[in-house]
Amino acid sequence: MAIAVELRHISKRFPGVIANKDVSIKVESGSVHALIGENGAGKSTVMKILYGMQRPDSGEILVNGTTVHFKKPADSIEAGIGMVHQHFMLADNFTVLENIVLGYEPSRGGVIDFNAARVKINEMAAAYGLTVDPDALVEDLGVGQRQRVEILKVLYRGAKILIFDEPTAVLVPQEVDELFAALQGLRKDGLTVIFITHKLDEVLRVADDVTVIRAGSTVAEVKASEVSAKKLAELMVGSELPSPEIHGSAKRSDIALELSQLTVPAESGARNLVSDVSFTLHAGEVLGIAGVEGNGQSELIEAILGLRNYTGTVIFKGEPLDDESVSERRDMGIGFIPEDRQRQALLMSSPLWENRILGHQRGKPVMNGALIDRKATMADTIRIMQEFDVRAPGPDTLALALSGGNQQKFIVGREMSGSPSLLLASHPTRGVDVGAQAAIWNELRAAREKGMAIVLISADLEELIGLSDRLIVMLRGSVTAELDPAKTTPESLGSAMTGAA
Amino acid sequence: MLEKGKLSGMRRTIIIFFGIIAILSVIRIATGASDLTSVGTAHAALLLSVPIVLAALGGLFAERAGVVNIGLEGMMIMGAWAGGFMGSKHGPWVGLLAAIFFGAVGALVHAIATITFGVDHVVSGVAINIIAAGLVRYISTILAQGGSWPGPSQSPDVEPIGQNGLPILSGGKYFGWQSPDILNSIGEKNWFLISDISRVLRGLTGELSYVTMIAVALVPLSYFILWKTSFGLRLRSTGESPIAAESLGVNVYVMKYWGVLVSGGFAGLGGGFLAIVAANHYQENQIGGRGYIGLAAMLFGNWRPGGLLAGSALFGFADALQLRDSAAIHALLLLIIAFLLFASWRSFRKGQKVATIVAIALAGFFAWFFIAFDELPGQLVTMTPYLATLIVLSLASQRLRGPAAAGLPYRRGGLK
């Protein structure tokens, strides 16, 4: 087989960090090649180098046997390489059509021929099962559809080599199936797919070959058919794969949280975002909320914290919260791990110790009267870093210098400071690597044993099933099912989430 | 706003336009303030709107490319000055070209500061406004001392630019043939509404400077460029999501420079218009905050050419009224009251308590004012255009959506 892409001994350093030390990859054309490694191992960096967004410090890149030197993405697009980014690169206020043709417009004398583009997009969409309305605004689309737009964008440019950066991180199982079906279609048409992930079951399902990267270096190249998930995990982290599990019941008699008929109205008079949700949560209990993203889970959690207007009642440890502000609710003992850590939980360009203050700015240990107690804050930040294994040079490190996993561990540590009685955890391990994931699971388990009540949302169904004492399923804002995690599989939960069951 | 989706944009605009004239006609009859729908008012409103439209278009191009351009005022000052300087030497058309060029030079400074060096957009813009005012005063003083200018705050006169009207309808003149002036004849008949409409249309289409025609044509042209061409799509993408644009091979820096330079060109033309068409020489303080008003018109117009045109027209109309006839301003209060009541009813239906109360309170205040005073004090009359624009636009446009990345610094390779 011909080699579509070959990377030889790529290295790249950023100020203070070595992202790639020695990465070599060989991708056969017409194959699906998985690139796996923990977060921070340098997978994304090496792909950005291949795509021309970064330039390597040393090493060689060959595309179809020819050495290339990409200076910008336009060069790699020219060479037939396309990238489907993990964080979608889409302009929300543009239509699907505008997003797809941007930079590659079919035009006559500068005037865009939108009709020709629409025809071409519909043809491609039909060929690979990637249907999406070309005239819809991107902001109105769900995650799965946005990803289709990203893929169409790349295909539209005639890419023969497609890079997917953690494409399944935000998808539900059914969407993952559709994506993988599309990938098989692409491969059949002779296109080459490079697939970055840290989910090993997916690698075995979809990939032909696997390259494993650890700490910036290639550590193994194997055939997917000749390797097990366990073996890949060992190659990736050098240890066994942890799994989310809780043992026995830690449930106490006292009720931590009681919701009755909680309803969050939509802003524009459309269907309620959350309608009529009631449940009781005991101390020491984990309630998992399953649902395809955008079905009201996030809004529900935000309402409990007081971030959204709602009707109905929320009772926390016997006290009604409905007239309390967000800060009062937090002070009463509610911790919150938001779904988008960079936007909702951190000041990216501030040091960790300042980030430690967020949400706790009204009391000890960070405050001393009306003034910030810098020394105590520093000390407590160091405590979090040690207890939660946050790998960073020190409390003065800027939040943006940390990898996603370390940022998340820091947030979990901060939110558990002061031992809240209730933790609202939204995707607590999204986008973090296996090691950090296991650490966060351990912390959640330990807190549960100590009597913390947890409301958990996660797109990782195994995590949701493994960590929850009880599961409820939300669809279009309502609770449609209550399941026993012990008797639930990811597949059956996935069907319940889409309303198929 | 009317129900969306039921009417096409064009038809809706036409219905709103005639609806407003109908309301004005009623108020005219009720109060006897004939200037509300006179030819002169409509004509003056158009003339006063043009510089604001141009400033707003300038703001549009910059903000759509993600650069906040609060320096429009300064760029207009430079344009007006250049219009007076070059126009008085080489004729009005050269003056206008110089105005565009000087506006673009001011914009180049803004572009270098904000795009290349990442200076805060507002800081850079304010600096340009201050520097522009000081710079032109300095050069004007030297020119006045040398005797070529009548004074440090005024340029020599510029020749006027030709004008024309629509054939048949508005008495234009073509190749020596004087066409009839149908709209004017109907306007003089004083038929209710029909004559009112004719007078307004006559004011908008008769005896227009060629520059006014060009300026008005620039509104649809800007829409076409920004929404129908590759250039426009790329320019808007840099204001919406520069990282996405970069990942697709768009040269974000180049597009942003274009946006800001075009912005300065428009602002400069707006300044030149004030010096050459609205007046016949450059005068210090001629701009008088129109750059800021243009920016406001663009914001309220939801970063769209049609919207900014409506915002500018509203200001131009109120300004024309206060200049021509302060009694008409008094009558205009009725229109504002009607509008406030409509707005309060609308927000009441949407369940927005605060907005409802504010609108009713304001309506009550103006009603009291209307009854208590037969004539408004002069200062208040001068203030009316600003006040009316502010009230109407802030209540009319509640769901604004600007470019997502406007005002944010951009660095190549921003996503690590």
Strand partners, A111: A108, B229
CB < 8 Å to B229, chain A? 107, 110-112
Strand partners, A142: none
**Distance between CA atoms of residues B416 and A45, nearest Å:** 8
CB < 8 Å to B414, chain A? none
Q: What is the pLDDT of residue A45?
A: 85
CATH number of B34-165+207-324: 1.10.3470
Cβ A160 vs Cβ A30: under 8 Å? no
| Residue A481: how many other CB atoms lie within 10 Å | 16
Domains A3-237 and A255-498 equal at CATH topology level = yes
Tally C-beta pairs within 8 A across A and B. 74
Mean pLDDT to the nearest integer, B195-206: 86
Burial of residue B22 (number of CB atoms within 10 Å: 0-12, 13-18, 19+): middle
- In chain A, which residue's Cα lies nearest the Cα of B255? A103
CB < 8 Å to B413, chain A? 53-54
Q: For chain A, what percent of residues have pLDDT higher than 70?
A: 97
CB < 8 Å to B404, chain A? 91-93
The domain segmentation of chain B, as residue ranges, is: 34-165+207-324, 326-399
Q: What is the pLDDT of residue B376?
A: 73
Work out the angle between the directed axes of helices B230-240 and B252-273 (0-180°, nearest 10). Answer: 100
Tokens of A6: 């070959």
Interchain contact A13–B (C-beta under 8 A): no
ipTM, two decimals, is 0.82
* Residues contacting A328, CB < 8 A, separation 6+: none
Assigned architecture for domain A3-237: 3-Layer(aba) Sandwich (3.40)
Selected for mutation to probe chain B from A50, A93, A138, A154 (highest B CB count within 10 Å) is A93
Whether the predicted model's global pTM rises above the 0.80 cut: no
**Single-letter residue type at B76:** M
Going by the DSSP 8-state scheme, the letter that residue B207 receives in this structure is S
Q: What is the pLDDT of residue B416?
A: 38
**Single-letter residue type at B361:** A
Q: What is the pLDDT of residue B3?
A: 39
More confident residue, A388 or B1: A388
Q: What is the phi/psi pair of residue B227, to 5°?
A: -110, -15
More confident residue, B327 or A327: A327
**Distance between CA atoms of residues B354 and A199, nearest Å:** 51
**B229, B236, B403: residue with CB nearest A111:** B229
Q: What is the phi/psi pair of residue A473, to 5°?
A: -110, 130
Q: What is the pLDDT of residue A16?
A: 63
CB < 8 Å to A53, chain B? 247, 413, 415
Tokens of B245: 């644009």
Q: What is the phi/psi pair of residue A235, to 5°?
A: -60, -40
Q: What is the pLDDT of residue A239?
A: 66
Q: For chain B, what percent of residues have pLDDT higher than 70?
A: 95
Pairing mode, strands B173-174 and A367-368: unpaired
Shortest CA gap A83–chain B (Å): 9
The domain segmentation of chain A, as residue ranges, is: 3-237, 255-498
**Distance between CA atoms of residues A341 and A407, nearest Å:** 8
Interchain contact A102–B (C-beta under 8 A): yes
Cβ A335 vs Cβ A415: under 8 Å? yes
Q: In the predicted model, is pLDDT for residue B87 greater than 80?
A: yes
**Distance between CA atoms of residues A209 and A332, nearest Å:** 52
Which residues of chain B approach chain A closer than 8 Å at the C-beta? 228-231, 233-234, 236-237, 240-241, 243-250, 401, 403-404, 413, 415-416
Q: Report CB contact under 8 Å: B228, A98.
A: no
CATH number of A255-498: 3.40.50.300
E-strand stretches of A349-389: 367-368, 371-372
Cβ B24 vs Cβ B17: under 8 Å? no
Query: pLDDT tens digit string along A328-360?
Result: 999 899 999 988 888 888 998 889 999 998 888
Question: Among the residues of A22-113, which ranges form H helices?
Answer: 43-50, 73-78, 96-101
Work out the angle between the directed axes of helices B39-64 and B305-324 (0-180°, nearest 10). Answer: 140
Answer whether the bond into residue A428 is a cis peptide, omega within 30°: no
Tokens of A187: 């491969």
Going by the DSSP 8-state scheme, the letter that residue A224 receives in this structure is G
- In chain A, which residue's Cα lies nearest the Cα of B239? A91
DSSP string over A243-268 = -----S----SSEEEEEEEEEE--TT
Q: Divide the 501 residues of chain A into consecutive groups of 10 and give the mean pLDDT of each group.
A: 86 77 88 84 85 88 90 86 85 91 86 91 87 88 86 89 85 82 88 86 87 86 84 76 73 88 81 89 92 87 91 91 89 89 86 89 81 89 88 85 84 89 90 80 90 91 89 90 87 82 51
Counted residue by residue, chain A has a size of: 501
Q: What is the pLDDT of residue B413?
A: 59
| Whole-Å CA distances, A282 to A322, A453, A469, A478, A479 | 19, 6, 11, 21, 19
Q: Report CB contact under 8 Å: B413, A53.
A: yes
E-strand stretches of B250-346: none
Query: pLDDT tens digit string along A294-306?
Result: 788 889 999 999 9
Query: pLDDT tens digit string along B137-164?
Result: 999 999 999 888 898 889 999 988 888 8
Spatial CA neighbour of B394 closest among B305, B314, B282, B279: B314
Average pLDDT value over all residues in chain B: 86
Q: Report CB contact under 8 Å: B240, A94.
A: yes
Q: Which range, of A192-206, B71-85, B169-183, averages the lowest pLDDT?
A: B169-183
